[in-house]
């Protein structure tokens, strides 16, 4: 067996390959961006050939730079941007059009048309755990079949295949030998029954999608064939696949009910493991399948919530408002004042997400006085990130009845010690920041390594992980309640139904 595991991390703006050793340390990385396409307002596309070419290129570069051959690498794992939809011809291997990216909103009206009754919407949510939306893959497939010349006829003839990005990579890395996905990516298509573990016939008929297009669904830690191309990696088994957020949950070793992770990226993605229970949300969250170690006899689930404005809020302070010269400066500026002097920032620039789901709400700053400085606004913006996470956590605990067992953090903004301490205070929970914050890639590596025997157990991985810092709450209950009451008052003032009165 080789000495390393490679994780292919195919993201929304770049493709990466990362090398992990037996100590669970990331010890090498290669990265390459690729072009984004915006053909119309609200549309977002990727060229599937760019996705494939850049991912193959970084794999080759990583292996060349580290002097690796097939014998040095035990297995490859894949993690990917979720929901992004690719349709290609099974004979020629050529995509019928560009990939429709998860961010693309072109199918919003189509979803409204197809999911036109409350009974349909309820059945979709009950079956898939998802809220009917253009975000997920089903309506994107339907749009391609309805709008690309010859696509419907080719699909009906059994000549077209659908896949999320992981499936596209697997198909090409195995030279068309394997058309498969894993349960986490399948659970994001809005076509998969997360309770019975199968493509749902009613949903396929509802969206008019031939079942011959759909990939085989396999466990996240399982066999997905053997690499044939590029030649440097030929013979390496593909042994682990998971969508990026579920991969990060697994990479943080959140494998038991109540364990949760939050990724502080452009937005924020929070997932809380709920064990064998597929918890139905009443707070605007979605239920999704979590990645599991091999040998798990049942599906494991998570509640997921997303925040639209995470690191993007700090970028706005820097780029549009000119209040910061760099994102890293935000911590120093925030700590230059003892508090926000009553200022609250509600970053509803594109509406309020979970648990409010008010798309018409717009951003606002409250509590401004003549004495307000840029430091107060910067500090209030960082605090707003923590408040949003607290709202998600409150919804998860309310839905599940499961107490939070600490919060593991990753993503760029988790390096901000002020934000992490305030987050711990406002949650009244401990935060755990790992030494290796490449948790998404780590999750794919762990899944692959467990499948091929590189690591013996999930507990062995957890024992090898190193924690860089733990943040414990120090805020009094009275102060915490005062902060949260002020935040929720500002949220109510920002709600569109209030503004419109």
For residues 214 and 443, give the distance between their C-alpha atoms in angstroms, rounded to a whole number.
25
pLDDT tens, residue by residue, 69-106: 889 999 999 999 999 999 999 999 999 999 999 888 88
The pTM is what?
A: 0.89
Q: Is 460 left (phi over 0), alpha (psi -120 to 50) or beta?
A: alpha
Q: Tell whether 343 and 391 lie within a shared domain.
A: yes
Q: Tell whether 169 and 99 lie within a shared domain.
A: yes
| Beta-carbon contacts of residue 289 (< 8 Å; ≥ 6 apart) | 183, 184, 186, 187, 194, 246, 299, 300, 301, 302
The pLDDT-based confidence of 497 (bands split at 50, 70, 90) is: confident
Q: Tell whether 209 and 299 lie within a shared domain.
A: no
Tell whether 246 is covered by a domain: no
H or E element that contains 485 = helix 477-494
Q: Tell whether 200 and 288 lie within a shared domain.
A: no
For residues 291 and 247, give the distance between their C-alpha atoms in angstroms, rounded to a whole number.
7
Rounded mean pLDDT of 376-382? 95
Domains in the chain: how many in total?
2
Which pLDDT score, from 0 to 100, does residue 501 have?
Answer: 47
CATH number at residue 295: 3.30.420.40
- The bridge status of strand 268-275 relative to strand 260-264 is antiparallel
Tell whether 203 is covered by a domain: yes
pLDDT tens, residue by residue, 341-375: 999 999 988 788 778 888 788 889 999 999 999 99
Strand partners, 243: 80
pLDDT tens, residue by residue, 418-467: 999 999 999 999 999 988 878 999 999 999 999 999 998 888 898 888 88
Q: Tell whether 261 and 194 lie within a shared domain.
A: no
pLDDT tens, residue by residue, 295-321: 877 899 999 998 877 878 888 899 888
Q: Tell whether 199 and 260 lie within a shared domain.
A: no
Q: Tell whether 328 and 206 lie within a shared domain.
A: no
**Cα torsion angle, 381, 385, 386, 390, sign:** positive
Which pLDDT score, from 0 to 100, does residue 498 have?
Answer: 61
Which pLDDT score, from 0 to 100, does residue 1 have?
Answer: 64
Reference 259, options 15, 431, 76; nearest CA is 431
Tell whether 133 is covered by a domain: yes
User: Is the Cβ–Cβ distance between 289 and 218 less than 8 Å?
Assistant: no
Q: Is 295 left (phi over 0), alpha (psi -120 to 50) or beta?
A: left
The pLDDT-based confidence of 415 (bands split at 50, 70, 90) is: confident
Which pLDDT score, from 0 to 100, does residue 499 have?
Answer: 53
Rounded mean pLDDT of 109-127? 93
Tell whether 245 is covered by a domain: no
Asked if residue 30 has pLDDT above 60, the reply is yes
Range with top average pLDDT, 34-43, 260-269, 292-301, 472-481: 472-481
Q: Tell whether 129 and 191 lie within a shared domain.
A: yes
Which pLDDT score, from 0 to 100, does residue 430 have?
Answer: 92
Tell whether 448 is covered by a domain: no
Q: Which domain holds residue 283?
A: 253-434+466-501
Q: Tell whether 281 and 224 lie within a shared domain.
A: no
Tell whether 461 is covered by a domain: no
Rounded mean pLDDT of 184-212? 96
In this prediction, what percent of the chain has a pLDDT beyond 90? 71
For residues 243 and 400, give the distance between their C-alpha atoms in angstroms, rounded to a whole number.
23
Rounded mean pLDDT of 376-400? 94
Tell whether 457 is covered by a domain: no
Tell whether 9 is covered by a domain: yes
In this prediction, what percent of the chain has a pLDDT beyond 70? 99
pLDDT tens, residue by residue, 160-173: 999 999 999 999 99
Reference 493, options 348, 288, 357; nearest CA is 348
Which pLDDT score, from 0 to 100, does residue 166 have?
Answer: 96
Q: Tell whether 191 and 275 lie within a shared domain.
A: no
The residue among 201, 236, 271 that closes a domain is 236
Reference 241, options 181, 173, 174, 168; nearest CA is 181
For residues 141 and 446, give the distance between their C-alpha atoms in angstroms, rounded to a whole number.
31
Cis, peptide link before residue 230, omega less than 30° from 0: yes
Q: Tell whether 104 and 217 lie within a shared domain.
A: yes
Which pLDDT score, from 0 to 100, does residue 500 have?
Answer: 52
């Amino acid at each position: 067996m080789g000495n390393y595991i490679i994780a292919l991390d195919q993201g929304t703006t770049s493709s990466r390959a990362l090398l992990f050793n037996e100590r669970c340390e990331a010890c090498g990385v290669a990265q390459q961006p690729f072009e984004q396409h915006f053909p119309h307002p609200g549309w977002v596309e990727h060229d599937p050939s760019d996705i494939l070419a850049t991912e193959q290129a970084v794999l080759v570069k990583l292996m060349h730079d580290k002097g690796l051959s097939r014998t040095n690498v035990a297995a490859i794992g894949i993690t990917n941007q979720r929901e992004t939809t690719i349709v290609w011809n099974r004979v020629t291997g050529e995509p019928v059009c560009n990939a429709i990216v998860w961010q693309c909103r072109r199918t919003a009206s189509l979803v409204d048309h197809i999911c036109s009754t409350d009974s349909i919407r309820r059945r979709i949510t009950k079956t898939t755990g998802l809220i009917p939306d253009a975000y997920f893959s089903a309506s994107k497939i339907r749009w391609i079949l309805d709008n690309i010349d010859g696509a419907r006829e080719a699909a009906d003839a059994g000549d077209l295949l659908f896949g999320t990005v992981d499936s596209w990579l697997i198909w090409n890395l195995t030279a068309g030998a394997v058309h498969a996905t894993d349960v986490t990516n399948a659970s994001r298509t809005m076509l998969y029954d997360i309770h019975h573990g199968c493509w749902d016939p009613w949903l396929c008929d509802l969206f008019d999608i031939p079942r011959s297009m759909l990939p085989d669904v396999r466990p996240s830690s399982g066999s997905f064939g053997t690499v044939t191309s590029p030649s440097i990696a030929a013979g390496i088994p593909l042994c682990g696949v998971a969508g990026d957020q579920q991969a990060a949950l697994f990479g943080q070793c959140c494998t038991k009910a109540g364990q949760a992770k939050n990724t502080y990226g452009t937005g924020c993605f929070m997932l809380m493991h709920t064990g064998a229970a597929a918890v139905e949300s009443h707070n605007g969250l979605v239920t999704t399948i979590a990645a599991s170690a091999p040998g798990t006899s049942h599906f494991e689930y998570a509640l997921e919530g997303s925040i639209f404005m995470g690191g993007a809020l700090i970028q706005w302070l820097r780029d549009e408002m000119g209040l910061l010269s760099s994102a890293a400066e935000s911590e120093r500026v925030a700590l230059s004042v003892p508090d926000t002097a009553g200022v609250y920032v509600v970053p509803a620039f594109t509406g309020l997400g979970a648990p409010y789901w008010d798309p018409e709400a717009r951003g606002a700053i409250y509590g401004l006085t003549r004495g307000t400085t840029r430091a107060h606004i910067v500090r209030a913006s960082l605090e707003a990130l923590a408040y949003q996470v607290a709202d998600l956590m409150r919804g998860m605990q309310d839905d599940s009845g499961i107490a939070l067992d600490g919060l593991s953090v990753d993503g760029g903004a988790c390096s901000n010690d002020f934000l992490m301490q305030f987050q711990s205070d406002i949650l009244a929970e401990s935060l755990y920041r790992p030494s290796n914050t490449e948790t998404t890639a780590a999750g794919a590596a762990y899944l692959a390594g467990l499948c091929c025997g590189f690591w013996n157990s999930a507990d062995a991985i957890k024992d090898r992980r190193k924690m860089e810092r733990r943040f414990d709450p120090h805020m009094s209950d009275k102060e915490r309640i005062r902060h949260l009451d002020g935040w929720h008052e500002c949220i109510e003032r920002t709600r569109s139904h209030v503004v419109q009165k």
